């Protein structure tokens, strides 16, 4: 059986402007790989309602799981929750269980749960909450979409809450080999190797070190024996 698939939506003008460097995609890809869920697409969208809603609808229909990051905070431009609700035709309002979580958190801090902070308790109808052990404000899951914060520490904690609830597949195994030759020199043999192992992913990633050019060849697949065999052949071809 093929592995479950996933997509990610990274939301925020600050990502697209280059003001903030996204690390959440890298983290999510690593974690999904460990449990055998194949991340196949990532979209970065602006803080625009139509763009967010369109991405949610399209990716939810195309993949087993969809993960979002960003836009669920207390400010006016945090519109992700409303957009996801509209994408699924659900109403959205402050929910008692989410409010109680925030109330307890801010009481412990001696801080007022004001109207802005209460925005983080607005949850679409029928959604389940995603635990946030870092800053309390929950994410949520609706249909096959997991809506999480953009702050990396919070995003990572939410991913840790969600992953145990998902059914994974066979984790990808990976091996790599550095070859100190240009890609133009290795392209032909590498193509033949890929043709001989069609169930594997064989990628070439060029690098330059101390004026010497080469390529890092990465072989990935679910069958460890095939990965081993392809890596052995690769070493034989290039005399590594």
* Selection from 5, 28, 9, 6 nearest residue 155 by Cα: 28
Strand duo 145-148 + 92-94: pairing:
unpaired
Q: What is the pLDDT of residues 158-190, one digit of tens each?
A: 999 999 999 989 888 899 999 998 888 899 999
pLDDT above 90: residue 239:
no
The superfamily (CATH) of domain 5-165 is MoaB/Mog-like domain (3.40.980.10)
Q: Name the pTM for this structure.
A: 0.86
- In angstroms, the CA 41 to CA 39 distance is 6
Q: What is the pLDDT of residue 6?
A: 98
Cβ contact 101:147 at 8 Å: no
Q: What is the pLDDT of residues 144-153, one digit of tens each?
A: 999 999 999 9
The superfamily (CATH) of domain 173-238 is Ribosomal protein S10 (3.30.70.600)
Q: What is the pLDDT of residues 17-69, one digit of tens each?
A: 999 999 999 999 999 999 999 999 999 999 999 999 999 999 999 999 999 99
Q: What is the pLDDT of residue 240?
A: 54
SS3 of the chain: the string is: CCCCEEEEEEECHHHHCCCCCCCHHHHHHHHHHHHCCEEEEEEEECCCHHHHHHHHHHHHHHCCEEEEECCCCCCCCCCHHHHHHHHCCCCEEECHHHHHHHHHHHHHHCCCCCHHHHHHHEEECCCEEECCCCCCCCEEEECCEEEECCCHHHHHHHHHHHHHHCCCCCCCEEEEEEECCCHHHHHHHHHHHHHHCCCCEEEEEEEEECCEEEEEEEEEECCHHHHHHHHHHHHHHHCC
Q: What is the pLDDT of residues 97-131, one digit of tens each?
A: 999 999 999 999 999 999 999 999 999 999 999 99
Q: What is the pLDDT of residue 134?
A: 95
Domain ranges of the chain: 5-165, 173-238
């Amino acid at each position: 059986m093929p592995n479950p698939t996933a997509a990610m939506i990274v939301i925020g003008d600050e990502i697209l402007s280059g003001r903030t460097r996204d690390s959440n995609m890298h983290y999510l890809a690593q974690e999904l790989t460990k449990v055998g869920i194949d991340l196949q697409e990532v979209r970065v969208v602006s803080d625009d309602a139509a763009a967010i809603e369109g991405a949610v609808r399209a990716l939810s229909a195309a993949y087993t799981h969809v993960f979002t990051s960003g836009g669920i905070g207390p400010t006016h431009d945090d519109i992700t929750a409303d957009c996801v609700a509209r994408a699924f035709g659900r109403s959205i309002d402050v929910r008692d269980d989410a409010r109680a979580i925030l109330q307890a958190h801010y009481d412990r801090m001696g801080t007022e749960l004001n109207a802005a902070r209460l925005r983080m308790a607005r949850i679409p109808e029928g959604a389940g909450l995603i635990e946030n052990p870092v800053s309390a404000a929950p994410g949520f899951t609706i249909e096959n979409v997991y809506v999480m914060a953009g702050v990396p520490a919070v995003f990572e904690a939410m991913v840790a809450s969600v992953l145990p609830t998902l059914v994974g597949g066979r984790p990808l195994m990976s091996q790599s080999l550095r070859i100190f030759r240009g890609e133009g020199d290795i392209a032909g043999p590498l193509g033949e190797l890929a043709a001989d192992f069609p169930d594997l992913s064989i990628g070439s990633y060029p690098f330059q070190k101390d004026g010497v050019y080469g390529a890092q060849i990465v072989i990935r697949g679910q069958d460890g024996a095939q990965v081993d065999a392809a890596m052995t052949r690769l070493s034989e071809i290039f005399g590594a």
